[in-house]
Structure 1
Amino acid sequence: MSRRILIVDDEPAIADMLAYALRTEGYAPDCVSLGGDALTALRGNADYALVILDVGLPDLSGFDVCRALRRESDVPVIFLTARSDEVDRIVGLELGADDYVPKPFSPREVASRVRAILRRARPQAALTPTAAGDGGDGPFRHDADGARIAFHGVWLSLTRYEYRLLATLLERPGRVQSRAQLMAAVWHDAEDSLERTVDAHIKTLRAKLRAVSETDDPIETHRGLGYSLRAGG
């Protein structure tokens, strides 16, 4: 059975080109032109494997759609945008997008990115810690089989990349890992991604940890070097 992809774009020519490229790759694309329709479709169908989302929609911005979607789902999202501003790209990644494609683009390139994202969508076993942070001797509890992490007894609601990032830090408490090392460990096939993506996800991780414990900030920033998890919790 073909994996379903939702295309959200108000330009019929672009939506049709993307749909054709995806069908030739064996996917089953659906198209809508409004952000509100996209949220309705996604809430009514849990089978969508990925969303291709234009930032400039007539009713809601793509950022607003992604923000609402992330409260309910971790479905992968690729942003399409006519703007190439790095700030916009960082905002999209902070909201939980998996990729960001500026217009004009090749539909085949987008289909290739869809294939790459779906290939790496499941958490990688290589990123699960075997000892550190895995027991009851610190603030973290890591359920590697369930791909979830608890902080002070509270299970965190993490996106796939937040989970992989925190799991990678948990592997070696006290060890400083550079942004490049974290990019290589967490964002596979991410040669086009920005190292600032790490900073964006560290920011959202810290916010979720503070929501559990306002006084405990276990992630340390090492200026010019990278990040580490404080040894000993």
Structure 2
Amino acid sequence: MFRCMESLLPEFSFLFAFCKSESCLPHVFHDSHTALSHIAFFAMLQWKKRVMQSEGYIMETPYLVYLVDDETNLLELLQSYLESAGLQVRAFSNGTEVVSVLEGEQQPHLWILDIMMPDIDGYELLRLIRQKSDVPIIFISARDQDVDKIIGLELGSDDYLAKPFLPRELVIRAKKLLQRTYEKAVHVPAPSQTFQDWVQIGPYLISEKGRQVKEGEELIDLTTKEFELIIYFLHNLGLALNREQILTSIWGDDYIGSDRAVDDLVKRIRKKMSKFPLETVYGFGYRLTRA
């Protein structure tokens, strides 16, 4: 086993040589088995970080992520992967801990929430978070059912990942969502124009720069995805856009899921903005008009 680890991490050969000495092991660990476990775990973390660096998974901006899951082993594993990708992670093992930090001044750039928890479930936490901010949210759950995904999306989550999943898949999704939200306002293919000031569509005033939508003097509370979709339609005013185009532009090329997510997002926008002139192009997609 040592030989395998040494080949992966030659720069730590001195450490392996030291720990292979039976006379030295008791001075460092209680027994040789404990030593092997610690060294194997250390080597795995270093190798994982090196692989992620070589494949471009390390983020330059130290975004803050709040990770919530009542499975302790999974929580620690996901935290280690996210931190290896350059993210700052604060982990919570129950919903009660989350509620206590919602009133705090420091808020994360991203929430990752487990749905099924014993005290306060992920749906209730999502409602509480959405009352405070539109920070992006990824749901993770052992229940891989369409109804769970739909409920999560309708309540305002931005992505959904069913267990079991590879930790690196969560890292990729988190990274893409953070980049779309904070490093570029909307991912649109070569927009013909950029709106800097207030633009009127029907009774609504929309500010891309200010990331705000108003009806009269009243600000409309929108999630990140809802606002991005509105801006995407605004950049393509009068054009019929199919669901695949919308999925790629709002969720990204790496999105894994059905185009039902588009319909659910449109439904949420229409519920909040009943006079928004967004037409359904049956059998195709949607089109935004001025009237």
Shorter-chain TM band? 0.7 to 0.9
Cα 1:56–1:175 shift into 2, 3 Å = same
| Aligned counterpart for 1:46 among listed residues 100, 106, 129 | 106
TM-score, scaled relative to structure 2: 0.70
Asked if 1:221 is matched to 2:280, the reply is: yes
1:16 is matched by which residue type in structure 2?
A: E
| 2:97 pairs with 1:37 | yes
Q: 1:180 aligns with which of 244, 257, 281?
A: 244
Specify the SS of the correspondent of 1:150: strand
Q: How many residues align?
A: 226
- Higher mean alpha-carbon deviation, 196-205 vs 2-11, is at 2-11
The answer as to 2:260 corresponding to 1:200 is no
1:219 Cα deviation after fit? 1.8
RMSD: 2.4
Q: Equivalents in 1 of 2:194, 2:139: separation in Å?
A: 35
Letter of the structure 2 residue corresponding to residue 27 of structure 1: L
CA deviation after TM superposition for structure 1 residue 191, in Å: 3.0
CA positional deviation for 1:202: 0.7
Q: Which residue of 1 aligns with 2:158?
A: 98
Give deviations 1:53-84, integer Å, cap 9, x for gaps.
Answer: 11101112111111111111112211111111
- The one-letter code sitting in structure 2 at the alignment partner of 1:103 is K
Q: Report the more deviating stretch, 192-201 or 137-146.
A: 137-146
Mapped to 1, the partners of 2:276 and 2:108 lie a distance apart of: 36
3-state SS of 1:191 partner: coil
SS at match of 1:88: helix
Correspondent of 2:140 among 58, 77, 80: 80
Alignment map for 1:8-27 (pairs within 5 Å): 8-27=68-87
Within-5 A mapping of 1:146-157: 146-157=210-221
Partner of 1:164: 228
Query: Greater CA radius of gyration, 1 or 2?
Result: 2
Greater shift in the superposed pair: 55-64 or 185-194: 185-194
Cα distance, 1:175 vs structure 2: 2.6
Question: 2:30: which partner in 1?
Answer: none
Work out the CA distance in 2 between the residues paired with 1:232 and 1:20.
48
Identity %: 33
* Aligned equivalents of 1:91, 1:3: Cα separation in 2: 27
Is the partner of 1:220 in helix, strand or coil? Answer: strand
- Aligned equivalent of 2:38: none
Structure-2 residue corresponding to 1:65: 125
CA distance in 2, matches of 1:102, 1:87: 12
Contact 2:201 2:277 in 1 (8 A): no
SS at match of 1:84: coil
CA contact (8 A) 1:19 1:29 kept: yes
Q: In 1, are the aligned partners of 2:202 and 2:277 still within 8 Å (CA)?
A: no
What amino acid maps onto 1:225 in structure 2?
F
Q: Report the Cα distance in structure 2 between the residues aligned to 1:78 and 1:137, rounded to whole angstroms.
A: 31
The secondary structure found in structure 1 opposite 2:124 is: helix
Q: Is the 8 A contact 1:182 1:198 kept in 2?
A: yes
Residue 82 of structure 2 contacts residue 171 of structure 2 at CA under 8 Å; is this kept in 1?
yes
Q: Secondary structure at the match of 2:157?
A: coil
Report deviation, 1:25: 1.6
Q: Is the 8 A contact 2:277 2:290 kept in 1?
A: no
Taking the aligned partners of 1:136 and 1:77, their CA distance within structure 2 comes to: 29
Identify unmatched segments of 5+ residues in structure 1.
211-215
Whole-angstrom distance in 1 between the partners of 2:100 and 2:249:
35
Higher helix share: 2
Q: Distance in 2 between matches of 1:17 and 1:88?
A: 24
Equivalent AA in structure 1 for residue 221 of structure 2 = S
- After superposition, give the CA deviation of every residue in 1:105-155 in whole Å (9 maximum; x if it has no partner): 222221222212111113228569647x95458423221211222234533
